[in-house]
Amino acid sequence: MFKNLLKNTDYLLIITIIALFIIGVVGIYSAGYGDLDASKTEYQKQIIWFVVVSFIAIILWAIDTSMFNYIGYALYGINLILLILVLAMPSVFGATSWFRIGGVSYQPSELMKIGYIIVTAKVMQMYCENKQLPQPDKKKSIILIGVMALTFIVPIILIILQPDFGTALVYFTILAFMVFKLGVKYRYIFAVILIGLVLLPVAYHILPEHARTRIDVFLNPELDPLGDGYNAIQSKIAVGAGMFLGAGLLNGSQTQYDYLPVQSSDFIFSVISEEMGFVVSALVVILYVFLILRILKIASDAKDMFSSLIAIGIAGMFAFHFIENIGMTIGLLPITGVPLPFVSYGGSNLITSGIAIGIVLNISARKNQINFFE
């Protein structure tokens, strides 16, 4: 029943998203205020995108959960093809990650996240159902593990070829969150972590030169203060300059004089910290922590394993974006092009984030197995 859906909907999650969006729009407005180019209207475009995304989220909240199978397969298949085609596109910021038609841009690796989460959740559900049988089919389990691996490896390789290592790491985090739900023994997890640590030096040496430079500059930005280290240095100056209450909206020197790079998207948290201070930047952190914990709570209350795995994968996606974006702006993590969902400017990530929230709200509203069509 429609009334039951409204009753079970997680309104605290909606309020959290709206709060993050409002803070983001204010930051985007300020970031583009002093510019003479199109970035001065970015906040208006962001608002339009948010309205469109809200309608999409409402539709996803209203449909039956069984529809997610078809949505997931479609998003995965279509974006897998686009990930191949995008490799032929012109490089932007050193990566061939975007389709640009007129004034519209699309990054296929963004919506692929949703397709990947749903498809992987379905395969994992089938694996769990097989394992719970009185006599599990070992051959079927091996096949399903192979499908899981293939579903993960193919898009990861295509994204690394762009190259976009930041987005690739999102997929690793999503998979890690979902694997925990399967109840994998801790000794296997520790073994994988140990192997990863041992292979780190090898991985470093096989990385392309620009990726190794980013790591070197992350460890010591002063190696190239006017080149690769510039972004990290200017971001930390902006965050520190904001102090407790901030320099005031439209008054941040790093922001208004364009010392901050891509300040409306990648470094929006630096803009917020400089002009709105520790009070608002800390609020952003609190809202994100609450958002992730809320989604994990929805996952634990979900009506079935499939829904729970989807919610956990979405929590992993948001957790990586939150930790990586804020971590890079304050110098704790290497700089990547990972945006801050609902806060950074950008249509592709906003659509992906909105779809993810629509799906989570659907799962929350149906925790008691309510069917909208009954």
Q: For the segment 143-185, what is each residue's pLDDT rounded down to a tens digit?
A: 999 999 999 999 999 999 998 888 999 999 999 999 888 776 6
* Tokens read off for 95: 């990566």
Omega within 30 of 0 (cis) for the link into 208: no
pLDDT 10s digits, 278-289? 999 999 999 999
pLDDT at 253 over 70: yes
Taking a C-beta distance cutoff of 8 angstroms, is the pair 348, 105 a contact?
Answer: yes
pLDDT, position 373: 35
pTM above 0.85, yes or no: yes
Decide which of 268 and 93 is more confident: 268
Element spanning 307, H or E: helix 305-329
What is the pLDDT averaged over residues 257-275?
90
pLDDT 10s digits, 88-121? 888 776 778 888 776 678 889 999 999 999 999 9
Q: Is the dihedral of CA 68, 74, 75, 77 positive or negative?
A: positive
- Residue labelled with tokens 């739900």: 181
pLDDT, position 339: 93
pLDDT, position 93: 67
pLDDT, position 336: 83
pLDDT, position 193: 75
pLDDT 10s digits, 186-206? 677 777 778 877 777 777 777
Residue 220 three-state SS: coil
Which of the four pLDDT bands, split at 50, 70 and 90, describes residue 369? low
pLDDT 10s digits, 37-84? 556 788 999 999 999 999 999 999 999 888 998 999 999 999 999 999
- Residue labelled with tokens 């994988």: 192
